[in-house]
Amino acid sequence: MPARPRIPDPRKGALEKFAFDLRQLGVGKVAVSWIAAQEDTEVSRPALYAALSGTRLPMGMTVSTLLRWWAGNPDEENADVRSRDRIWGWIPRLPVGSDAHTQANEWKQRYLRLSRVESKRRSARDRSWKPTPPVQIDTPREQHLLIEQIKDLIERTGLSQDMWLVFGPETLRIERYLSGRVIPNYYWTYQIVLHCAGFIPGLYQEEETDRLDVAADIARRARVRERRSARNASPARLRRS
């Protein structure tokens, strides 16, 4: 990820406006590279930069990490205040009524509203999708690479032969991904990493999720490409497949 990520256009929608405003919030504040280098930062530098591009909704931990330094004030946090919220738990540690506390809460609520809007938009897009006649294709090379990445992550847990200990009732779903029958969506790439993280000390969840999400997107595009090629093939070739 370059040090100068794509500048979002706030006129193109709520997602790009959020990313644009977040970039503006950070003007004159500590740099993204500095935030990424802090010991308590759990998000990778590429993921932090990606949150400022407006290309897709970043994960809550990514946005929270930037807001902690740009909207909040770590120097004002009271370490004695405990919170079970791993993502936003730093906000209650700020002095109640302070500018930092107020601004941090406002940004948190804005992000949560945007998350709901994006979720509804994706659901509407999924409902409007119309299936095309099925064709038989081989699993593309790009999907094989995704499967290998998932397998590698599972093997790092040390429980690849006992996947049910990692995924519980979702084991059958994960086996479908490994078989190549289904490609996980963004939610399930996150869930795969989340389940494995409990067995892999020091795993950078955000970075792993982004890596799987990119691989899954490439695999989906590859399947679209292969299906298009199959549909454009001659009837004789389709019969042979």
Percentage of residues in the chain having pLDDT higher than 90: 60
Mean pLDDT, residues 173-191 = 92
Domain boundaries defined on the chain: 10-128, 141-240
Instruction: Mark 7-23 as b/e (b = at least 16 C-beta within 10 Å).
Output: ebebeeebbbbbbbebb
pLDDT in tens, 212-227: 989 999 999 999 899 8
Q: What is the tens place of the pLDDT at every residue in 57-114?
A: 899 999 999 999 999 999 999 989 888 888 999 999 999 999 999 999 999 999 999 9
What local confidence, expressed as pLDDT, does residue 94 receive?
95
Give the CA angle between residues 62, 9, 101 to the nearest 5°.
40
The one-character DSSP state at 5 is P
- Predicted confidence at residue 85, as pLDDT, reads 85
CA distances from 227 to 46, 107, 180, 217, 230 (A): 32, 43, 15, 15, 5
Predicted TM-score of the model (pTM): 0.54
**Short-list 186, 185, 174, CA closest to 59:** 186
Q: How many CB atoms lie within 10 A of CB 184?
A: 22
